[in-house]
Amino acid sequence: MSHFPKLLSSQIAYDVARTMLDGFDKHYRLFREASIEAKARFEAADWHGLQKLQRDRIAFYNDRVHEAVVTLQDEYDAERIDDEIWQQIKLHYIGLLTNHHQPELAETFFNSVCTRILHRSYFNNDFIFVRPAISTEYIENEESPVKPTYRAYYPGSREGMAACFERVVHNFQLTLPFEDLKRDIGYVLRAIDEHFGEFRTAPNFQVHTLSSLFFRNKSAFIIGRVINGDHTYPMVIPVIHGASSKLVLDTVLLRPEQLLILFSFAHAYFMVDMEIPSAYVTFLRDLLPRKARAEIYTSLGLQKQGKNLFYRDFLHHLQHSSDKFISAPGIKGLVMLVFTLPSFPYVFKVIRDAFAPPKETTRALVESKYRLVKQHDRVGRMADTLEYSDVAFPLSRFDEALVRELELHAPSMIEYQRAQDGGDEIVVRHLYIERRMTPLNIWLQEGTDAQVDHGIREYGDAVKELIAANIFPGDMLYKNFGVTRHGRVVFYDYDEIEYLTDCNIRRVPEPRNEEEEMSGEVWYTVRPHDIFPETYRTFLLGDLRVRAAFERHHPDFFDATMWQHHKDRLLAGHVHDFFAYQTQERFIHRYGAESTDVSRRAA
């Protein structure tokens, strides 16, 4: 039962609420400005600038929260504000959100500020937003003018589709000219015909496209849907720079599974300008009904909102399940304790208090590696992580063996407390949460010959794409890679990653005598950051099926020349192309058009 006061009598409460909302509004204004600037960087082919913009934007949220906390402490001595005033602050804040265009994001910002000021054991559900207070439905229907979330086009007939798609493209007002837009639109229509067979337009045939372009890596995406009678189909058209430095339409994606990969947790966040983000999420949910709203918000660069919604979904799942948290199956890591809830498709990772040899690292260094991955272009090959502090779990839901493991290997990371309902809780002070995947070593051990072949092809592609993106995984063992439900191999163990450009790529020196040649130990000097690709054969090719697959798909994998080639290109300033679709799906391969860039690879 709420104990909110009936009268909002405190001027300080209103002023604090106004200050917090001003902090959020500043954050979202800067967020949108960065997303708008992405368009100019894309058109200028300023790929390094686009990467920096992406990195900087990730830090915006925490910077604004910190600013708000400092302001509230300096001007209002916020830590000393009593319970009744905090309740009034929340009510004033709700009132200020009545006509707001991002109320759900502003509520999350309020929670972030509130929990920074008030200790975890002090704030309660009256002080923070446990569930949304303001609806995000039909915000566009309000009288205040807003940019429409999507545009609707009516081709009128099958013959009118070329003109329709030309309008679609031109409405994004890209200033850089197209290489041959009529040709590319012809390819789009041809691909639509091939996908749907004899495509007959129903009387209410429509094409809807979101009003802003989605930017990631070196591509801009037109994202929309085709409505034909009672059926709705996804439609994504990537726009890239061609060899002539003009724009081209690279392909058209029409299958839901293609969109799932495009919005995968292993890709970097999109940069997209949204006045009403909830409307974008609703549109995308229509195309991706199996993807949680939390994941869509995260893909749109609103990772704090995604994190908030994920935690609500997690609590909801706990309420409606009864299985216990257990240690995750697979080989145990030397840095992380990993546990999971079998009914929930995620794993929870806790840094150990001490690391057994040969690991030489620290907690601070491990945390810095995870921050690096968050800020880097993950190119579809590194799992995103959700980072939480002070997470309380019902102790009764923890397997006894898991509790003993946490007490033995990470005692500083846990504490026990009494819950409000009288039960016991185990509080984990710091953890990472990732999507659960099948460890690649298990996939290779238990898989058919075809699955082993696929796994090794994907593993080699994943490593090559990571080093092309300037990421050296460090620990190359199969146990540090996972296989997603789409069959893609993704890296997820980050404690040893380095920038490839910081690594010294070396060949094993020729032995100088018989004693060195017969030695079972490393007889040559190995300096920090030295890597020897040919030595990976020792621990990667023990299985005959694996060896054969490597020889088929990646004969250059153990050659230092391949690794050095990628490093040289990176040092020269080259930014590689990565695509969330297969090479054969690109128009230059499907329809024999002249290649726009022979260096492009599919992700």
Positions annotated as catalytic residues are: 384
Q: Which helix (H) or strand (E) holds 373?
A: helix 363-375
List the alpha helices (DSSP H) in 44-160.
47-76, 83-96, 103-117
Residues in the chain: 603
The 3-state DSSP class for residue 452 equals helix
Q: Shortest CA distance to 178 belongs to which of 236, 206, 220, 217?
A: 220
* Separation CA 336–CA 354 (nearest Å): 10
Residue 77 in 3-state DSSP? coil
- Alpha helices per DSSP H over 204-255: none
Residue 177 sits at φ, ψ, to 5 deg, of -70, 160
Q: Check: CB of residue 239 under 8 Å from CB of residue 219.
A: yes
**C-alpha–C-alpha distance, residues 473 and 414, integer Å:** 29
Which residues, listed in sequence order, are joined to residue 505 by a DSSP beta bridge?
Answer: 531
Question: φ and ψ at 361, to 5 degrees?
Answer: -155, 180
Query: How far, in Å, CA of 373 to CA of 368, rounded?
Result: 9
Which H or E run includes 22?
A: helix 11-43
Burial 546-569 (b: 16+ CB within 10 A, else e): beebbeebbeebbeeebbbebbee
For 175-203, give the DSSP string.
Answer: SSPBS-HHHHHHHHHHHHHHHHSS-PPPT
Buried b vs exposed e over 455-486: b needs ≥16 C-beta within 10 Å? Answer: bbbbbbbbbbbbbbbbbbbbbbebbbbbbbee
